[in-house]
Amino acid sequence: MDPLRWTDDLPPLRAPLLVTAFEGLFDVGGAATGALASLRSSNALPVGEIDADPFFDFTERRPVVRIDDDGRRVIDWPTNRIHILTNASDARDLVLIDGVEPHLMWRTFSETIHDVAVAVDAAMVITLGAMIAEIPHTRPPTITGSTTDPDLATLMRLDQPSYQGPTGVIGVLHQHLEAQGVPAVSLRVAVPHYVSGTPNPKASRALLERFERVTGVRTPWASLDQDARDWETRVDAAMQDDDEVALYVRRLEERYDRSTAAALPDADDLAAEFERFLRQQGNEGETL
């Protein structure tokens, strides 16, 4: 049985970008799925889901039973949902897939994501993630972008993956997309390791802002400004009476401030390079 279930007809889409985020190893502080949730809140249309049954060990991730408004028992499974987000003022639409990193059959799951990309004729796949890092909570979160496509890496000033070791479903997905010739980019936000166990709206905001800078597609990152400030205030208050932690954070701040990260190009220039790359892909007749 095909695990991909469309629950509604797909509307006409304009060269959409497929954007994914999955709760799990690659979602520290819920930053990536939090960013996708903010996108979904912008009038996204649910159009499908990936059936949980083949991909989850339900002794590890148990479904939840609840009583609905009509008094009926309902079981909520760990579903990966598919939404469409259109904005007439942007040149491209977005297809969003978010949910939970599966336990089983990662290659089949990656093939299913690719099937979605084919069905919507996606121009590119962009995965959002969040990883633990030694950075201070008082500074803007750093974002790392990477792609296996050397031309795209040069144009967008992205890294090419060099990591070797245990990976998650995102690593498997990117390898599968590379094998299929599908352009794909990973955007990862750094989350302070000493506050990694709680939701981090500051990191979600940073991911959305960088996504907008790279693609030129507008996102609601500014709507997270107050949440990000409130989060930082709570962290400050929690460490106020701990001199040892406060000293450690100051050292992280000094290291952060000394670092010389490459300056980002102008947002309009970056988005123009992104569009130029995708037009070149289309002119060469490449399909998903």
- Give the Cα-Cα-Cα angle 50, 78, 36 (nearest 5 degrees): 75
- Give the Cα-Cα-Cα angle 7, 12, 15 (nearest 5 degrees): 110
pLDDT along the chain (288 residues), means of 10: 90 94 94 96 92 95 94 93 88 94 96 97 96 94 90 82 87 94 94 93 96 91 96 93 90 86 55 80 54
Q: How far is CA 177 from CA 81, 121, 204, in A?
A: 20, 14, 25
Q: What pLDDT, on a 0 to 100 scale, did the predictor assign at position 243?
A: 87
pTM of the model: 0.90
Q: What pLDDT, on a 0 to 100 scale, did the predictor assign at position 162?
A: 80
Q: What pLDDT, on a 0 to 100 scale, did the predictor assign at position 156?
A: 77
What ranges do the domains of the chain cover?
Answer: 4-283
Q: What pLDDT, on a 0 to 100 scale, did the predictor assign at position 199?
A: 95
Calpha distance 24→86 (Å, rounded) = 28
- Domain 4-283 in this protein, CATH class: alpha beta
Q: What pLDDT, on a 0 to 100 scale, did the predictor assign at position 265?
A: 53
